[in-house]
Structure 1
Amino acid sequence: MMLAHIQTLIAKAQASQHLALSFLFSSMDIVRPLRKLVHDLQLERGSTSLLLINHHADRYATKVNSYRAQFLADEAQFLTAVNQWQLKMEQHALPSGVYVRLAHFLERLNHLQSLREQIDTQTIQADQAIEAFSQIISAALSFVFELAEQALDAEIARAMLALFNFMQAKELAGQERALGVVALGLSEPNKLATLTDAIKARVDQQQQAFQLVRSFATARQLDQLEQLKTRPYRADLDNWRKRIAQHCASNTPASLPLAEGWFDLMTERIDGFQALEDDLISYLQIISAKKMAVEDDRSLAEPIVEEIDSQIKTQVDEKVMRMKGVSHLLLAQLHDQAMQLGTIEAELIVAKQTLLDRRFIERAKAVLMVEHKYSEQQAHQFLRDQAMKTGMKMVDLAKRLLKQTEKF
Structure 2
Amino acid sequence: MTPAERLLLTAKRCEIDDLEHLTAACDIVGDVSHFVHALQKERGASNVYLASGGQRFAERRHERIDECLATEQALRMRLDALGDTAGRPATTARLLRRIAYVWHALDGLEALRSNIEALQTSPDDATQAFNQLISALLSVVFEVADTAGDPEITLALVAIFHLMQGKELAGQERACGAFGFTCGGFDDAHRQLLLHLIDAQQRCFDTCLEFTTEEGREQWQREMPSRTQDGVQQLREMASGSTPLPKSASPLGETWYELTTRRIDAIQRVEAFLIGELSNLCLAKTLDARHSLSRHDDLFRELGNASPAVCQQLVELFDGSATHELGEVTARVVGSSLNRSLVELMCAQASRLQALSDELESTRRALRERKLIERAKGLIMAHQQMSEEQAYAFLRKMAMDQSKSMAEIAQTVLGLADILKPSTEKPSTEELPAEVRHTDRATS
TM-score between the two structures when normalised by the length of structure 1: 0.73
Identify the match of residue 24 of structure 1 among 4, 22, 25: 22
Equivalent in the alignment of 2:278: 284
Computing the radius of gyration from Cα coordinates, the structure with the larger value is: 2
**How many residues in Structure 1 have an aligned counterpart in Structure 2?**
334
Identify the match of residue 271 of structure 1 among 265, 268, 286: 265
Q: Percent sequence identity over matched residues?
A: 26
Q: CA deviation at 1:302?
A: 3.2
Residue type of the partner of 1:292? T
User: Kindly tell me: are residues 16 and 249 of structure 1, through their superposed partners in 2, closer, same or farther at Cα, counting changes over 3 Å?
Assistant: farther
User: Kindly tell me: are residues 81 and 278 of structure 1, through their superposed partners in 2, closer, same or farther at Cα, counting changes over 3 Å?
Assistant: same
User: Kindly tell me: are residues 321 and 156 of structure 1, through their superposed partners in 2, closer, same or farther at Cα, counting changes over 3 Å?
Assistant: farther
Equivalent in the alignment of 2:34: 36
More contact order relative to length (CA 8 Å, sep ≥ 6): 1
User: 1:149-195: per-residue Cα shift (whole Å, max 9, x none)?
Assistant: 1111110110110111111111111000000111222257xx61111
Equivalent in the alignment of 1:145: 142
User: Kindly tell me: are residues 155 and 123 of structure 1, through their superposed partners in 2, closer, same or farther at Cα, counting changes over 3 Å?
Assistant: same
Retained in 1: the 8 A contact 2:184–2:250? no
- SS of 2:147's equivalent? coil
Q: Does 1:128 align with 2:119?
A: no
Retained in 1: the 8 A contact 2:35–2:72? yes
Equivalent in the alignment of 1:238: 233
Q: Which 10-residue stretch deviates more, 147-156 or 221-230?
A: 221-230
Instruction: Give 1:156-305 correspondences, 5 Å limit.
Output: 156-187=153-184, 192-246=187-241, 250=244, 253=247, 255-296=249-290, 297-298=292-293, 299=296, 301-305=299-303
Q: Does 1:113 align with 2:107?
A: no
Structure-1 separation of matches of 2:270 and 2:342 = 42
User: Kindly tell me: are residues 129 and 321 of structure 1, through their superposed partners in 2, closer, same or farther at Cα, counting changes over 3 Å?
Assistant: farther
User: Kindly tell me: are residues 244 and 90 of structure 1, through their superposed partners in 2, closer, same or farther at Cα, counting changes over 3 Å?
Assistant: same
User: Kindly tell me: are residues 122 and 199 of structure 1, through their superposed partners in 2, closer, same or farther at Cα, counting changes over 3 Å?
Assistant: same
Retained in 2: the 8 A contact 1:180–1:259? yes
Structure-2 separation of matches of 1:231 and 1:24 = 37
Identify the match of residue 14 of structure 1 among 5, 12, 15: 12
Q: CA deviation at 1:322?
A: 6.3
- SS of 2:148's equivalent? coil
Q: CA deviation at 1:131?
A: 0.9
Q: Does 1:55 align with 2:53?
A: yes
User: 1:242-288: per-residue Cα shift (whole Å, max 9, x none)?
Assistant: 11112x65365472211111100000011112222122222222111
- SS of 1:250's equivalent? coil
Retained in 1: the 8 A contact 2:54–2:119? no
Structure 2's unaligned 5+ residue stretches are 311-333, 368-444
Structure-2 separation of matches of 1:318 and 1:73 = 54
Instruction: Give 1:268-347 correspondences, 5 Å limit.
Output: 268-296=262-290, 297-298=292-293, 299=296, 301-309=299-307, 311=309, 313-314=334-335, 317=342, 319-320=344-345, 334-335=352-353, 337-338=354-355
Structure-2 separation of matches of 1:193 and 1:254 = 20
Larger helix proportion, structure 1 or 2?
1
TM-score between the two structures when normalised by the length of structure 2: 0.68
